Amino acid sequence: MEQFSTRQNKVSRLIQREMSDILLQLTKTKYQGKLISVTIVRVTKDMGLARMYLSIYPSEFSKEILSDIQLNSKSIRGDLGRRIGKIVRVIPELEFYIDDSLDYIDHIEDLLKK
């Protein structure tokens, strides 16, 4: 398993907190009735790339919301830069993925009930 430095963990938590606020604003304006949460943020050693795993509820809209977020990643990165630009030197590039662990857990529970 890959070990993360203290700096990587701090930057990951910072980005996760700020991205949660940014996505909350997006949810209020664009995705009303949907819930988008940032479950995990992993930053590379050079702090140049941040991989974000999003949990989207209801999950049937997850693919279209993820593709829309990926299309708007430059403006989202700009918002993130305005928020954390004084704290970190380089604003990392953003990659978004779907965190489907809750769906997987539900699937396992359904299998166990049968």
pLDDT tens sequence across 82-97? 999 999 999 999 999 9
Structural domains in the chain?
A: 6-113 (3.30.300.20)
pLDDT grade for 2, boundaries at 50, 70 and 90 = low
Q: What is the pLDDT of residue 100?
A: 78
Q: Is the pLDDT of residue 102 over 80?
A: no
Element (H, E) at 79: helix 73-84
Q: What's the average model confidence in pLDDT over 62-84?
A: 93
pLDDT tens sequence across 28-68? 888 888 889 999 999 999 999 999 999 988 888 889 999 99
Q: Is the pLDDT of residue 101 over 90?
A: no
Confirm if 60 and 46 have CB atoms less than 8 A apart.
no
Q: Is the pLDDT of residue 105 over 80?
A: no
pLDDT grade for 113, boundaries at 50, 70 and 90 = confident
* Cis, bond preceding 92 (omega within 30 deg of 0): no
Tell me what the pLDDT averaged over the chain comes to: 89
The pTM assigned to this predicted structure is: 0.84
Q: How far apart are CA 91 and CA 18, in angstroms?
A: 12
> Residues in the chain, how many?
114
Contacts of 103 (CB under 8 A, 6+ apart): 59
Q: What is the pLDDT of residue 1?
A: 47
Return the axis-axis angle of helices 73-84 and 6-29, rounded to nearest 10°.
120
